Amino acid sequence: MMDINILDFLRNANNLNGVHLNDSVDKVFELRGDPLEIIGDKACGFLHYGNGIRFGYFGTEIDELAIIFYGGKSITYIVDCEHIRIINEKSTINEILLFLNFSNIEWKSNDEKNVNVFSVKLNNNIYILFDLLTGRLTKISISR
C-alpha cells in the first residue's frame, strides 16, 4: 500500500506519492511499479494503484493526480483533525469542509453544471468532488 499524506497533497498539490503532473508514464512505473489496473490504451488512460490512487495520462505524460473514493473499494486515510479522524468513501460534504476549514485550507464552491456532482475548488486548483445525492466524497484531484 502507498503511504499518502493527504493533508500535504491538499495543501501543496505538487505531487501525489512522488508523482508530479507532467512526469512521464515510465517514471510512474519506476517509482510505483506495475499498477493494479490500467484503463485505456497507449494514447490515454488511467493507472490505478492501491488505496484509490489514480494517475491519468495523455500520451507519455501524467495529466491527472487523483484519489478515487468510489468503485466499491474501502479507501481510508487517517488525518489528525479535531473534527474528523479519517477521510474515506463515507466522508460527507460537511465533514470535508470542516476538515478544510480547521486545516486552514481555502476553498470555494465550484459550479460544475452537473446535477449529480457538488465540487469544491481549492486555491491550488485541486478539486474535491461529492455525489450530490448522497453527499459523499467521490474524488480529490488535480489535472492540467
Residue 61 within a domain: yes
Same domain, 11 and 55: yes
Residue 1 within a domain: no
For the chain, strand residue ranges (E) read: 37-40, 44-48, 53-58, 61-68, 76-78, 86-88, 107-110, 117-122, 127-131, 137-143
Residue 109 within a domain: yes
- Residue type for position 75: I
Of 24, 46, 67, which residue is a domain's last?
67
Same domain, 45 and 12: yes
- Distance, C-alpha 61 to centroid of its chain: 18
Contacts (Cβ under 8 Å, ≥6 apart) of 131: 70, 116, 117, 138
| pTM over 0.75, yes/no | yes
**What pLDDT is attached to residue 3?**
63
C-alpha cell at position 23: 512526469
Same domain, 61 and 81: no
- Distance, C-alpha 128 to centroid of its chain: 7
Asked if residue 91 lies in contact with residue 84, where contact means CB atoms within 8 angstroms, the answer is yes
Same domain, 82 and 133: yes
Same domain, 85 and 120: yes
Tell me the residue range of the domain where 55 lies: 6-67
Encode pLDDT of 41-95 as tens digits.
999 999 999 889 999 999 999 999 999 998 767 888 888 777 788 899 999 999 9
